[in-house]
Amino acid sequence: MQPLIALSLGLSFLASPLFADGHATGNPSKGEKVFAKCKACHMVASPDETIVKGGNVGPNLYGIYNRKAGTQTEYSKYGKSIVSAGNAGLQWDEEVFLTYVANPKDFLIKYLEDKKARSNMAFKLKSEDDAKNVWAYLVSLSSEN
């Protein structure tokens, strides 16, 4: 009986709209509002169109899901630590994104096991709900979801 309950619960989560794309647990509509803070530095632009006009201080966040950190070829201002993290295998998924945006510097110090690691991103998105919603919004904009 227990495996049946577990299967039933698992299927209900998969059927839930919040888990529909399999990559995000947040609310994209709420994330769009929170992303207003992010677009001071980041844009979201596909190869064909600018989806969210924003700054170019940070990299374009289109197609971020599963992208290797620090490798977007159109962006040349990555810090040494994020490039090192990408070279060490860091890829963006919801869990990594949530931890990173809460405190980018601390994330890189722990990930790289290097007390001298630094992040060019000074902004911290402390609310986990806000971060989940921003992640869901970014994933929803990408054709790679």
Crossing angle of the two packed helices 128-141 and 28-38, in degrees rounded to 10:
100
Query: If pLDDT is split at 50, 70 and 90, which confidence band does 79 have?
Result: very high
Token pair of 49 as six digits: 């169109």
For 14, counting Cβ atoms within 10 Å of its Cβ (0-12 exposed, 13-18 middle, 19+ buried), the class is exposed
For 10, counting Cβ atoms within 10 Å of its Cβ (0-12 exposed, 13-18 middle, 19+ buried), the class is exposed
Of the listed ranges 14-23, 88-97, 122-131, the one predicted with least confidence: 14-23
d(CA 137, CA 145): 11
pLDDT for 14: 38
Fill in the amino acid letter for 13.
F
Domains in the chain and their CATH numbers?
27-141 (1.10.760.10)
pLDDT, one tens digit per residue, over 82-123 is 999 999 999 999 999 999 999 999 999 999 999 999 999 999
Torsions phi, psi of 57, nearest 5? -70, -35
Q: Tokens 């509509």 belong to which residue? A: 29
pTM: 0.82
Q: Tokens 């977007």 belong to which residue? A: 72
